[in-house]
Chain A
């Protein structure tokens, strides 16, 4: 046998795939798969929400949302708000929840409905409301979230999105992605949810007082109402749709139903 010198051949050991084209294929494929999975998971959530009875929900979440987040202070305004909640509840006949009100020590004016039937008002909201009517709309709005099971929906969606993301990006490259994506998806859905809750809230105000005066005071105290939101993108990203659009919605709803726009405002105890 003879030794014939030659250079090693460029063989089959390296695939002739351009790294960038592989990147694009992978990113597109994975994005598509994730979108399909998340949409499917969201559909499952809608079904599950329909089948989870509020009593079960309360049992599960009762221990989760305890005194850590908020308290029930000795305050005439808190008592008035709790009593108001009771009266509003009576206008929602099929209410399956045992509702509870608590105050969160937080300066910005806001309110939240959390799974299990607890409504949190921030101290800032309680300090800034000027009439009971205004507060009634806030509480009615949160009742609307309970009625539409929005609190469960948000919880489920948030869970799915964060699960999907943590499965996808183990770390390094995109630890910041979760916030970005959650902000983008949540705000898109929130728009519709907030408007539905608004509609229910104002119908409760009308049922309680016989007019809807003062209902829009709520928006003047939302954090984003104070912020300078000029461009449309920022307003889209805000959790609550821009206040003015929501006020307009309220008034057109009131006009449709011929609800009186003016009336006497009920004061809150100081």
Chain B
């Protein structure tokens, strides 16, 4: 009996533990994202292909922000259960949301550091970095790449 209890208890403990840690990590990340978004809100990022006529552009460069985020054990478990019946995989939504916003922030911060005033033609790419298929042993995560053309205005 003790053997079975340990065998059953360990995954449950892992599940609960990763839930606590995972949600704490996510909360911290969101807090950080919101602060940085507020800080960089005066920096225009748009997906126009061509800049507005009124912009007097003196320099341009491609900038990119890239992020890889892994799901935790709990989220994967939840998604695994969801897979049986289908429906919105809510546990992955926040993961993608965080990854996109983080990638855009990194792109904006890069452009800002290099002295640019805005980023135009912003595009976002998603790729699956690793699959979780190998009996759940692989690291499942997403890579989000945000890129665009940073432009400098004439003074």
Q: What residues make up the interface of A, taking CB atoms closer than 8 Å to B?
A: 1, 3, 5-8, 13-15, 17, 19-20, 22-23, 26-27, 29-30, 168, 170-177, 179-180, 183, 233-234, 237
Cβ < 8 Å to A, chain B residues 36-83: 37-38, 41-44, 52, 74-75, 77-78, 80-82
B113 at the interface (CB under 8 A from A): no
B1:A7 contact, CB within 8 angstroms: no
Q: Of the candidates A3, A14, A170, which one forms a contact with B97 in the assembled complex, judged by CB atoms under 8 Å apart? A: A14
Q: Judging by beta carbons under 8 Å apart, are B1 and A174 in contact?
A: no
A22 cross-chain contacts in B, Cβ below 8 A? 78, 82, 90-91
The reply to whether B90 and A168 contact each other, CB–CB distance below 8 Å, is: no
List the 10 closest A-B pairs by CB distance, nearest first.
A176-B7, A172-B136, A26-B81, A15-B90, A5-B42, A171-B135, A17-B90, A5-B41, A13-B97, A7-B37
**20 more A-B contacts (CB under 8 A) besides A5-B42, A26-B81, A171-B135?**
A1-B52, A5-B43, A7-B41, A13-B93, A13-B96, A13-B97, A14-B90, A15-B88, A15-B93, A19-B90, A22-B90, A23-B77, A23-B81, A30-B84, A30-B85, A170-B136, A172-B137, A173-B11, A174-B8, A174-B11
CB-based contact A14/B85 at 8 Å:
no
**In the complex, chain A residues whose CB is within 8 Å of the CB of B37:** 7-8
CB distance from A11 to the nearest CB of B (A): 8
Contact A177 B84 (CB under 8 A): no
Query: Which residues of B come within 8 Å of A, CB atoms?
Result: 1, 4, 7-8, 11, 15, 19, 23, 34, 37-38, 41-44, 52, 74-75, 77-78, 80-82, 84-85, 88, 90-91, 93-94, 96-97, 101, 135-137
With A20-B19, A173-B15, A176-B7 already in contact, the answer to whether A30 and B81 are too (CB < 8 A) is yes
Tally of A-B Cβ pairs under 8 angstroms = 80
Q: Within the complex, what minimum Cβ distance (angstroms) separates B130 from chain A?
A: 15
> Which of chain A's residues has its CB closest to B4's CB?
A180
Given contacts A174-B11, A179-B4, contact A26 B78 (CB under 8 A): yes
Measured CA separation A61–B97 after assembly (Å): 57
Q: In the complex, what distance in Å separates the CA atom of A7 from the CA atom of B33?
A: 11
- A27–B12 Cα distance when bound, in Å, is 13
Contacts of B91 in A (CB 8 A): 19, 22
B77: A residues at CB distance < 8 A? 23, 173
Give every chain B residue within 8 A of A171 (Cβ-Cβ): 135-136
The reply to whether A170 and B135 contact each other, CB–CB distance below 8 Å, is yes
